[in-house]
Amino acid sequence: MADKVQLQQQQVQQSQNETSHKGSKRTIFFVAIPIVLLQIIIAYLLVLDLNSKSNAGQTESNVKKENTQKEQIQERKVADDYKITESEYAISHPEFLFVVKDLIVNPAGTGGLRYLLTSVGIEVTNEKAFAEIQSKEVIVNDILINVLSSKTLEELSDVTKRKDLRREIAKKIDEILTQGRVQNVYFSKFIIQ
């Protein structure tokens, strides 16, 4: 009988051990699976959020590019409205005209991201002044670069300020001329990009 009791006690211990192993397996199952599912959901939401932010950034950059392109087209139209060709000028003004072609300048405050492409005609009063301005071409280019690069994009874009810009250029070039003076300044090309 004692053997039967011991045998029963051993069977009870084995069944308790099996139950505790099954219980621990169930506990792991019920705790681990929800944690893994939660991690998957969080990862999914993070990826979704990052994608939406990158798409929003792309949309904003696309809008900025479109606006910049529209501004450039509008600025070209304005520049073309005030453009006079050299042949048109020569017909109406056969006097002494010194031309600086395709001068590229970065306007003030643009950090080199924008530029002005211009061609400038400088009309002088006589032949001696024309010869003098030709001999001082480097100085004239320097004056043009300094004057134009000191202006902001807004100042250069404003058509009403072109007359003042012409006067300022004429005054600065007059300072270096000894044989005559500047009669007029013409912009045959004025493109802001």
Kindly report, residue by residue over 56-113, the tens digit of the pLDDT. Answer: 555 566 666 666 666 666 655 544 555 555 555 555 555 788 899 988 998 888 888 8
Q: What b/e readout covers 44-64, taking b as 16+ CB neighbours within 10 angstroms?
A: eeeeeeeeeeeeeeeeeeeee
Is pLDDT above 90 for 146? yes
Domain-wise residue ranges, the chain? 1-81, 82-192
Q: What is the pLDDT of residue 142?
A: 93
- Of 38 and 145, the structure prediction assigns the larger pLDDT to 145
Query: What proportion of the chain, given as a percentage, has pLDDT over 90?
Result: 18
Q: What is the pLDDT of residue 125?
A: 87
Q: What is the pLDDT of residue 171?
A: 92
Please report the DSSP string for the chain in residue order.
-HHHHHHHHHHHHHHHHHHHHHHHHHHHHHHHHHHHHHHHHHHHHHHHHHHHHHHHHHHHHHHHHHHHHHHHHHHHHHHHHT---HHHHHHH--SEEEEEEEEEEPPBTSTTSS-EEEEEEEEESSHHHHHHHHHTHHHHHHHHHHHHHTSBHHHHH-GGGHHHHHHHHHHHHHTT-SS--EEEEEEEEEEE-
Topology of domain 82-192 in CATH is Tetrahydropterin Synthase; Chain A (3.30.479)
